[in-house]
């Protein structure tokens, strides 16, 4: 019956957002405020209420606290500010908090927010790199250290994790997220929220996490940051929303709405998705903040004619706090006076802000986080550095290793290091570096000298990096505010001579850190012309070449991939970048990272995903047939989702199911034996994919539904078990998640393109589920076998 309704809806095109847009929005966001919050609300004037919804910058991202002038402090005294961002430092924050608590009429403490994204002082690998570790435990630990350091500096709110799924590497913010897959994204979102918020938000070492950007921000058309997204309801619910659901379930204290619109409705004013889906259907109780200046930008979207209208729209849409727009503060009073039906919505927003402050323990202990003594002791401790090294090591992905060129033979005596990124410690920090410092970075060249004392090293830049003077340059190889890469005959000749005089070359290429990140969208995601020329010249020497990639997004590098015998993807790895890369190059550790996003063969092949639909004419290698493919490229990605090689060798066998028939509310155990047949200790990431081969609507050819990173001793074998439920293969419909009867194919392997064993089970009847399928975690376990 339900399936029939679904089919009917599909046939008549009736599938739409489950909650209607427009009038009739009711105030119910934060249920049952605490007695303290209720009592405060009763005492607040309209101005004080609006003040709580106002977040202003106390500085700039790279000049923290620079806007904390007398006027700003006066606004705190008058109760006109609920939160600052871009401030830091225990002493400064303590003083700001003191003014709010002791000198404002109601003494309401402030929220202090910052983009603490991959560490505060101890910078870890960028988020995309951490995602490549496929290690939720590690991500929880790195988030915890970030929280410990940031809170010691007085912060109580981080705008992280970014959980946007991104399938278009032209979009520069790919670097900040979990990659292309909603299941991996959901698991990692949960881990990060846990790490930031700890077991209790009131703990002074815990920080309020923000899942952002709700929602569809990664689907920007053409990969252009901030641009519109045009997403089907199905894709929205099955791909983009699950990580937000996971973050909400893990208790994320806040969410940030996205800059973009979906089908013409900006998320800054989207009652159906924010009030309807997030608040009402999911029951989300946290604080919802706009993105930077996004409320005034509703005028640019063309959905509001006046600032007052924009304020009313955002409030109706469910945005509690205005980040840096100064619009609620200047215009919400007029809006509320003109339309008193906004008043209950305003109260709901204030309740959300006050409740967040209460959950953080700010009323009880407003100064607990701003402790100069703790601040002095907490930063970049040896333990934090050790974790940074471990995280960096576990994030590295070995993309290619022809003839086992890696690990480096101890006999390699003369090693040439070529490429300016090799000494660019600044790039190792990535974007969103909070209080990270270039001098904290342990770069590659000294780390290699230390790791291989018997070898001699020579270095050549190969091209000239120069500061780019202007913003918005367009040629590939020029970062927006970063570095222009200039081919230089002398530098190239020096590189070739250096390579010729060596036994082995480490060629370090990729992109300057400032080429990926916010507003760093590019049409060309290959190497710059200067680096391309360098790579070709070095490969032409005929010396064995190990390419070390440093970059924040998948790169289209087909020539390099074809010609270089070994390629190591090292992203931007943070303060322990050099030693971690040396650990992998020398074989002190085997690479265990796997790609959280596929690499296209050409910029024009984006967007792409392994989890595509089959189509009526599935892509075929046979060009004589007309199929869903580009004619000038092979049908496969350059490197597939989940890909990553190891110094170990793994054999998969004996894939078994606990049963072949499963009721919709049942579960099935999927187990497989994995043996490390090599003589080195190594990690394998065992990946579980599913496919529903025949359904009412076409289903993806593969979807990740489980993984486990497993450490193996030489020769060791382990039985890996996954528990899967039919709800995890449910498909979204207007009426909820549908479990449909029939066959489910199961694939287990080392990547989406390296499936080692297949089986199938049958779901015996239709059923329903309440949770986005990709947000349901698959439990897994491992046990040694002889």
Q: Which is nearer to ligand NOJ, 114 or 573 (CB)?
A: 114
Q: Is 782 helix (H, G, I), strand (E, B) or coil?
A: strand
Alpha-carbon torsion (156, 157, 163, 166), positive or negative: negative
Q: Which of the residues are catalytic? A: 291
Please, what is the minimum distance in Å from the beta carbon of residue 222 to ligand NOJ?
18
Site for ligand NOJ in 626-645 (CB under 6 A): none
Q: Which is nearer to ligand NOJ, 348 or 431 (CB)?
A: 431
The count of other CB atoms within 10 Å of the CB of residue 783 is: 9
Please, what is the minimum distance in Å from the beta carbon of residue 139 to ligand NOJ?
18
Please, what is the minimum distance in Å from the beta carbon of residue 467 to ligand NOJ?
24
Q: Which is nearer to ligand NOJ, 135 or 297 (CB)?
A: 297
Q: Is 491 helix (H, G, I), strand (E, B) or coil?
A: helix
234, 179 Cβ separation under 8 angstroms: no
Rounded-to-integer distance, Cα 66 and Cα 134, Å: 39
Q: Which is nearer to ligand NOJ, 297 or 424 (CB)?
A: 297
DSSP 689: E
One of 261, 280, 291, 371 touching ligand NOJ (CB under 6 A): 291
737, 769 Cβ separation under 8 angstroms: yes
CA-wise closest residue to 354 among 31, 37, 27 = 37
Please, what is the minimum distance in Å from the beta carbon of residue 61 to ligand NOJ?
6
Please, what is the minimum distance in Å from the beta carbon of residue 116 to ligand NOJ?
10
504, 413 Cβ separation under 8 angstroms: no
Alpha-carbon torsion (739, 740, 742, 747), positive or negative: negative
459, 382 Cβ separation under 8 angstroms: no
Please, what is the minimum distance in Å from the beta carbon of residue 608 to ligand NOJ?
24
Distance of CA 187 to the CA centre of its chain: 11
Q: Give the tokens for residue 326.
A: 């100064």
Contact code string over 169-208 relative to ligand NOJ, x by CB under 6 A: ----------------------------------------
One of 183, 244, 292, 463 touching ligand NOJ (CB under 6 A): 292
Q: Which is nearer to ligand NOJ, 431 or 609 (CB)?
A: 431
88, 65 Cβ separation under 8 angstroms: yes
Q: Give the tokens for residue 371.
A: 């402790």
599, 556 Cβ separation under 8 angstroms: yes
Give the CB-nearest residue to ligand NOJ.
Answer: 159
Rounded-to-integer distance, Cα 128 and Cα 125, Å: 8
72, 99 Cβ separation under 8 angstroms: no
Contact code string over 65-104 relative to ligand NOJ, x by CB under 6 A: ----------------------------------------
Per-residue three-class SS string for 272-337: HHHHHHHHHHCCCCCEEECCCCCCCCHHHHCCCCCHHHHHHHHHHHCCCEEECCCHHHHHHHHHHH
53, 320 Cβ separation under 8 angstroms: yes
Site for ligand NOJ in 208-227 (CB under 6 A): 212
Contacts of 453 (CB under 8 A, 6+ apart): none
Q: Which is nearer to ligand NOJ, 65 or 745 (CB)?
A: 65
Please, what is the minimum distance in Å from the beta carbon of residue 570 to ligand NOJ?
25
CA-wise closest residue to 601 among 573, 628, 626, 636 = 636
Please, what is the minimum distance in Å from the beta carbon of residue 479 to ligand NOJ?
18
430, 513 Cβ separation under 8 angstroms: yes
Q: Which is nearer to ligand NOJ, 292 or 712 (CB)?
A: 292
Q: Is 358 helix (H, G, I), strand (E, B) or coil?
A: helix
Please, what is the minimum distance in Å from the beta carbon of residue 329 to ligand NOJ?
17
Q: Which is nearer to ligand NOJ, 124 or 292 (CB)?
A: 292
Please, what is the minimum distance in Å from the beta carbon of residue 181 to ligand NOJ?
21
Rounded-to-integer distance, Cα 688 and Cα 137, Å: 19
Rounded-to-integer distance, Cα 53 and Cα 47, Å: 10
CA-wise closest residue to 119 among 138, 94, 144, 137 = 144
Position 115 contacts ligand NOJ (CB under 6 A): yes
Q: Which is nearer to ligand NOJ, 64 or 640 (CB)?
A: 64
One of 134, 157, 159, 463 touching ligand NOJ (CB under 6 A): 159
Number of residues forming the site for ligand NOJ (CB under 6 A): 6
Q: Which is nearer to ligand NOJ, 318 or 544 (CB)?
A: 318
Site for ligand NOJ in 500-529 (CB under 6 A): 518
Judged by the rule CB under 6 A, the positions of this chain that interact with ligand NOJ are 115, 159, 212, 291-292, 518
């Amino acid at each position: 019956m339900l399936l029939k309704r679904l089919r009917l809806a599909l046939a008549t095109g009736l599938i739409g957002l489950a909650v209607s847009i427009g009038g009739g929005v009711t105030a119910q966001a934060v249920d049952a405020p605490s007695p303290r919050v209720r009592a405060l609300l009763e005492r607040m004037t309209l101005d004080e209420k609006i003040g709580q919804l106002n977040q202003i910058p106390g500085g700039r991202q790279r000049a923290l606290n620079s806007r904390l002038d007398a006027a700003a402090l006066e606004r705190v005294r008058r109760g006109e500010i609920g939160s600052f961002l871009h401030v830091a430092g225990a002493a400064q924050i303590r003083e700001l908090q003191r003014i709010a608590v002791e000198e404002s009429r109601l003494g309401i403490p402030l929220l202090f927010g910052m983009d603490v994204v991959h560490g505060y002082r101890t910078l870890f690998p960028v988020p995309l790199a951490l995602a490549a570790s496929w290690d939720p435990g590690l991500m929880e630990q790195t988030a915890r250290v970030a929280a410990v350091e940031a809170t010691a500096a007085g912060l109580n709110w981080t705008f992280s994790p970014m959980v946007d799924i991104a399938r278009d590497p032209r979009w520069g913010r790919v670097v900040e997220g979990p990659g292309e897959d909603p299941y991996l994204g959901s698991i990692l979102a949960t881990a990060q929220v846990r790490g930031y918020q700890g077991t209790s938000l009131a703990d002074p070492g815990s920080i309020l996490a923000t899942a952002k950007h709700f929602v569809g921000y990664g689907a920007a058309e053409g990969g252009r940051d901030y641009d519109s997204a045009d997403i089907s309801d199905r894709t929205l619910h099955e791909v983009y929303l699950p990580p937000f659901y996971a973050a909400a379930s893990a208790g994320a204290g806040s969410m940030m709405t996205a800059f973009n619109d979906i089908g013409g409705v900006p998320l800054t004013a989207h009652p159906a998705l924010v009030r309807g889906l997030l608040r009402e259907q999911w029951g989300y109780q946290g604080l919802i903040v706009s993105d930077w200046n996004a409320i005034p930008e509703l005028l640019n979207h063309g959905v509001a004619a006046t600032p007052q209208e924009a304020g009313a729209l955002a409030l109706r849409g469910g945005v509690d706090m205005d980040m840096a727009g100064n619009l609620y503060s200047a215009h919400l009073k007029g809006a509320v006076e003109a339309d008193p039906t906004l008043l209950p919505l305003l109260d709901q927003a204030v309740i959300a802000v006050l409740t967040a402050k209460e959950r953080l323990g700010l009323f009880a202990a407003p100064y607990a986080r701003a402790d100069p003594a703790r601040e002095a002791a907490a930063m970049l401790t040896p333990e934090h550095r050790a974790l940074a090294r471990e995280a960096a090591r576990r994030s590295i992905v070995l993309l290619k290793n022809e003839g086992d060129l890696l690990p480096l033979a101890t006999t390699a005596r003369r090693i040439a290091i070529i490429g300016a990124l090799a000494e660019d410690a600044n790039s190792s920090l990535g974007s969103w570096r909070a209080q990270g410092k270039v001098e904290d970075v342990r770069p590659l060249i000294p780390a290699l000298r230390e790791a291989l004392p018997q070898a001699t090293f020579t270095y050549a830049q190969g091209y000239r990096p120069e500061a780019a003077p202007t913003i918005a340059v367009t040629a590939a190889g020029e970062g927006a505010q970063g570095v222009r890469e200039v081919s230089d005959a002398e530098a190239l000749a020096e590189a070739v001579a250096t390579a010729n005089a060596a036994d082995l070359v480490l060629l370090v290429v990729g992109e300057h850190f400032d080429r990926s990140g916010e507003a760093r969208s590019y049409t060309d995601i290959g190497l710059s012309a200067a680096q391309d020329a360098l790579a070709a010249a070095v490969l032409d020497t005929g010396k064995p070449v190990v390419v070390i990639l440093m970059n924040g997004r998948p790169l289209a590098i087909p020539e390099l991939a074809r010609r270089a015998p070994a390629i190591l993807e090292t992203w931007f790895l943070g303060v322990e970048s050099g030693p971690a890369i040396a650990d992998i190059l020398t074989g002190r550790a085997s690479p265990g990272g796997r790609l959280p996003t596929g690499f296209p063969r050409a910029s024009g092949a984006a967007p792409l995903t392994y989890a595509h639909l089959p189509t009526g004419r599935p892509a075929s290698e046979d060009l004589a047939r007309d199929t869903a493919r580009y004619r000038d490229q092979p049908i496969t990605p350059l490197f597939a989702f989940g890909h990553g090689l190891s110094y170990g060798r793994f054999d998969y066998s004996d894939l078994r199911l606990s049963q072949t028939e499963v009721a919709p509310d049942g579960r099935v155990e999927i187990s497989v034996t994995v043996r490390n047949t090599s003589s080195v200790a190594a990690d394998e990431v065992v990946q579980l994919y599913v496919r529903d081969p025949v359904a009412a609507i076409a289903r993806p050819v593969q979807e990740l539904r489980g993984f486990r990173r497993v450490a193996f001793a030489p020769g060791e074998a382990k039985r890996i078990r996954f528990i899967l439920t039919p709800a995890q293969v449910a498909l979204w419909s207007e009426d909820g998640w549908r479990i449909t009867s029939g066959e489910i194919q199961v694939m287990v392997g080392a990547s989406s393109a390296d499936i080692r064993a297949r089986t199938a089970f049958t779901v015996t009847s239709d059923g329903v589920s309440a949770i986005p399928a990709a947000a349901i975690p698959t439990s897994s376990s491992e046990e040694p076998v002889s």
